[in-house]
Chain A
Amino acid sequence: MTTAGRTGLAMSALVIGVSALLIVMLGRVIQLQTAPGERLSQFVEDRVSRRPEVAPRGDLLDRRGRVLAASRTGERLFVDPTRLPQPYDEVLDRLVTQVGLDRSDAGMRLFGALAKNETRVAAGLEPVRYVRLTGILDDDQAEIVRALKIPGVHLETWTVRDGPGEALAGAVIGRVNIDDQGQFGAERAYEPTLSGDDGSLAYVRDARGKPLWVQAGAYRAPEAGEPIRLSIDLAIQDIAEEELLRGVEDADAAGGRLVVMDPDTGEILAMMDIVRDLGRRAVPWGKKPSAGGTSRRTIIPPDPNRSIHPGAGRNRCVTDVYEPGSTFKAFTWSIITDAGVIRLDETLHTSGKAWVTSYGRPIRDVFGKEKQTWREVLINSSNIGMSMAVERVKPVAMREGLTKFGFGATTGLGIPGEREGYLPPMRAWTKYTHTSVSFGQEVGVTAVQLATAFCAFARQGEMAGVAPRARLTAAPSERPPNEVVRRVVPWNVATSARHAMARIFEKLDNNMKAKEVDATFDYALFGKTGTGQVSLPGERGYIPNQYVSSFVGAGPFEAPRLVCLVVIDDPGPALVERAEHRGSSVAAPVVRRVLERSLAYLGVAPSPKAESLASGN
């Protein structure tokens, strides 16, 4: 072979060699990219971080768009005891003095975990490496923790629900659990709408753990939950809280409930529930009075959740059933009138303060009247008059009428735990029941149920007598204002009842003006007072000298915009002794003040002439 031939051969071999090398390298690159070996693929997987992208929960807004509850992130402090430097006392001391932790609580958690770890390690188990020491810290505290840089002390981010609604309308709003899911109140009722859909992000990290890139399809954007506009008006709720607190304290009562509604739409504008700790002034729940001690019983069932969080307790406006007493007469009076068995001007001989029914049951009145018209029976809240008239109506008709008003069924608000109240079934409807129901005994109602039913008296024109559907979300503006949901009595009967109830408020206003010389009222109102007795579960009969006093009212008389019910649970013994415990004394002033302030806030023009309106019919 010539030299040229050898050189050409060498060149060809080089070309083939280099080409082969390039092909091998290309093949290796392709293999590494598409199907790395087991060891390498594990290494690549370890370099991929996945983290959830939290979708914010929808806001709860009031009817005017003010935020009641919204999501935010907060940080909690936890420690890894295996990395915590010794001595532990010093670490705890730094956290307590500089971050402001509760020494006993944090100490108990930390040293409890350390002791547990000793036992676990001795048993050959892995030690616990996560010990939460605090709840959500404020921003300043979190910054201090970061600045301390103590090994083994970490912060973790959590989503929390916060906002002004918690303090003002906690029972309505409810609360979410640790997984950010609605657990109580509106948070639970509207969970499907409020909850968002969490996203995720997977990214490849470099050797130092810093993010390098995101592969296609490795990011899923979070979808935020939808906001819900509740029917609650924060300003009216604020007024309600202030006035109910005042009313409960003035009455030295064990608690109070309040509901404000828009009678046209059925929207709940305010819902308030207060429970007062009477301490030693009342016998604890479930116990009977002992000789020599107080005889005042605790009539509100205990609610341990309430002390944990305002939103975790019962919303007593929908869960606690009470005997309405005379406020119920507005409804039974209308049903009897609608039955056509009595005229408004028919005179009943009510025989003073006592009368005996056809089956021999004695009935008593607080204010004795020898005779009164059917209209005056409602104004005077006469048990005798109601008992006489109800004998003309069949029990079936009475029960059916009350069912139409919505008694004995939930209002459909959707608040978890709402009770149906109690309307005796037909088979248990005795003569005795028939009489008792006419003046609000032997029945049980919730505050929301009674307020919703009363809306039928507060509607205008031919809509009077039509009950709205109670709702906790703001009514859409496109909803027809004259939608007939449930006609309960003819409009003329509802209007007659309203006129009679305006006279009741006139009397009360005069009493209030006599007590408070400076009292001036801008709006003519109408309403009905009630004082129910209390019976406790597992016991027969009523508790002596303890009552549930209530008042349901609406205004302004000429074009009602608001309905307000106030229930004062167990007015104090001093008031009972002076016979000032009745709904007219303890609940009516609260209704008056709430309606006066709320109507002014809504910009409702004052009533033209309060006195002349009420006496128009």
Chain B
Amino acid sequence: MKRSPSSGGVLAKLAVMVVATAMTAAWLLSVRQQRIMAAHDLIQAHRRTVENEKTLWRLRVEIAKLLTPDRIEQIAGAAGPMRPMTPEPDANEKALAHSPEQGERRSEYR
């Protein structure tokens, strides 16, 4: 039996078309999957952001509660006798120069 010269060409074209279609479909699927993964990661990141924001809110309130005048007074009292700040900065520096610890402490509150 003798094959038609055109049938081989058509078969080859068909095979190329099917393979090309399959590759395109696979590529499209892969892109779509990547998009889904990215969106999923985005949602997870968003949820973590929301959780972190909630933690931040809670910490802000806790910090505020620890910074009341009463509390600062207690801390200052426990830190030892403190000298009032004098209006003249030079005099202040002189007063604090005697105690390196006080100098450090003062810089913390600046």
A residues at B contact (CB < 8 Å): 3-5, 7-8, 11-12, 14-15, 18, 22, 53, 56, 66-68, 70-73, 139, 162-164, 168, 201, 203, 210-214, 234-235, 238, 603, 605
Could you tell me the distance in whole angstroms from the C-beta of B54 to the nearest C-beta in chain A?
Answer: 5
B57 interface contact, C-beta 8 A = yes
Shortest C-beta distance, A501 to chain B (Å), equals 29
Instruction: Decide if A4 touches B44 in the complex (CB within 8 Å).
Output: no
Instruction: Find out whether the CB atom of B68 lies under 8 angstroms from the CB atom of A4.
Output: no
B35 part of interface (Cβ distance < 8 Å): yes
Cross-chain contact of A70 among B1, B47, B60 (Cβ < 8 A): B60
CB-contact partner of B61 in A12, A72, A238, under 8 A: A72
Residue from B14, B40, B69 in contact with A211 in the complex, judged by beta carbons closer than 8 Å: B40
Q: Does B97 contact A (CB under 8 A)?
A: no
CB pair B7–A71 under 8 Å, yes or no, is no
B37-69 contact mask (Cβ, 8 Å, vs A): 1 or 0? 001101110110010011001101101110111
Q: Which residues of B contact A68 (CB under 8 A)?
A: 64
Asked if B46 contacts A4 (CB within 8 A), the reply is no
- A12 to B47, alpha carbons, bound, how many Å? 55
Q: Check A4–B4 contact: CB distance below 8 A.
A: yes
- Whether B61 lies near A70 (C-beta < 8 A) is yes
Q: Which of A4, A203, A212, A235 contacts B3 (CB under 8 A)?
A: A4
Partner among B4, B54, B58, B85 whose Cβ is within 8 Å of the Cβ of A7: B4
**Interface SS of A by simple majority:** mixed
Q: Is the CB of A70 within 8 A of B64?
A: yes
> How many chain B residues have a CB neighbour from A under 8 Å?
36
**Chain A positions within 8 Å of B82 at CB level:** none
Instruction: Verify B54–A72 contact, CB threshold 8 A.
Output: yes
Q: Are B64 and A11 within 8 A (Cβ)?
A: no
**How does the 8 Å CB contact mask read for B64-94 relative to A, with 1 for contact and 0 for none?**
1101111000000000000001010000000
Q: Is the CB of B61 within 8 A of A67?
A: yes
| Nearest chain B residue, comparing its CB with the CB of A71 | B57
Contacts of A4 in B (CB 8 A): 2-4, 7
Query: Which residues of the other chain, A, contact B39 by a CB distance below 8 angstroms?
Result: 212-214
**Contact indicator B6/A8 (Cβ below 8 Å):** yes
The answer to whether A214 touches B42, judged by C-beta atoms less than 8 angstroms apart, is yes
Given A70-B57, A238-B69: A8 and B40 interface contact (C-beta under 8 Å)? no
Give A22 to B39 CA distance when docked, in angstroms.
29
Chain A residues near B14: list those with CB within 8 A: 11, 14-15, 18
Whether the pair A235, B69 counts as a contact (CB closer than 8 A) is yes
A67 to B60 alpha-carbon distance, docked (Å): 8
Q: How far is the CB of B50 from chain A (nearest CB, A)?
A: 7
B42 in contact with A163 (CB, 8 Å): no
Q: A203-B43, A235-B69, A238-B69 are contacts. A72–B64 as well, Cβ < 8 Å?
A: no
CB pair A66–B43 under 8 Å, yes or no, is no
Q: Cβ of B61 and Cβ of A7 under 8 Å apart? A: no
CB-CB < 8 A to A7: which residues of B? 3-4, 7
Chain A residues with CB under 8 A of B53: 56
Contact A201 B65 (CB under 8 A): no
Asked whether, in the complex, the Cβ of B68 is within 8 Å of the Cβ of A238, the reply is: yes
Which of A18, A67, A168, A211 contacts B18 (CB under 8 A)? Answer: A18
- Determine how close the nearest CB of chain B comes to the CB of A61; give it in whole angstroms: 9
Chain B residue numbers with a CB within 8 Å of A66 are: 64, 67
Q: Are A214 and B43 in contact (CB under 8 A)?
A: yes
Q: For residue B46, which residue of chain A has the nearest CB?
A: A201
Tell whether, in the assembled complex, residue B10 and residue A8 are in contact, meaning their CB atoms are under 8 Å apart: yes
CA distance A18 to B19 in the complex (A): 12
Contacts of B18 on A, CB cut-off 8 Å? 18
Q: Chain B's nearest CB lies how many Å from the CB of A269?
A: 13
B68 is contacted by which of A22, A139, A162, A234 (Cβ under 8 Å)?
A: A234
Q: Are B70 and A238 in contact (CB under 8 A)?
A: yes
Closest to A168 in B: B68
Q: Are B4 and A72 in contact (CB under 8 A)?
A: no
- Complex CA distance for A76 and B89, rounded to whole angstroms: 53
Question: Knowing that A4-B4, A162-B61 are A-B contacts, what are 11 other residue pairs whose CB atoms are under 8 Å apart, sorted by A's residue number?
Answer: A4-B7, A5-B4, A14-B14, A18-B18, A72-B61, A73-B57, A73-B58, A164-B64, A210-B40, A211-B40, A211-B44
Instruction: Give the 8 A-B CB pairs with smallest separation, nearest first.
Output: A213-B39, A4-B4, A67-B64, A211-B43, A72-B57, A235-B69, A238-B69, A164-B68
Smallest beta-carbon distance B109→chain A, Å: 14
Distance in Å: Cβ of A239 to nearest Cβ of chain B: 8
B7:A11 contact, CB within 8 angstroms: yes
Q: List the B side residues contacting A212 at CB < 8 Å.
A: 36, 39-40, 43
Closest A residue, CB atoms, query B47: A211
Chain A residues whose C-beta falls within 8 Å of the C-beta of B70 in the assembled complex? 238
Interface residue B21 (Cβ < 8 Å from any Cβ of A): yes
Give Cα A220–Cα B10 distance, bound, in whole angstroms.
54
Q: Which residues of A contact B44 (CB under 8 A)?
A: 211
Name, among B1, B18, B43, the residue most crowded by chain A CB atoms within 10 Å (CB to CB): B43
C-alpha gap A66/B58 in the complex (Å): 15
List B contacts of A71 (CB < 8 A). 57
A7 (CB) vs chain B CBs: closest residue: B7
CA distance A168 to B68 in the complex (A): 9
**Closest partner residue, chain A, to B4 (CB atom):** A4
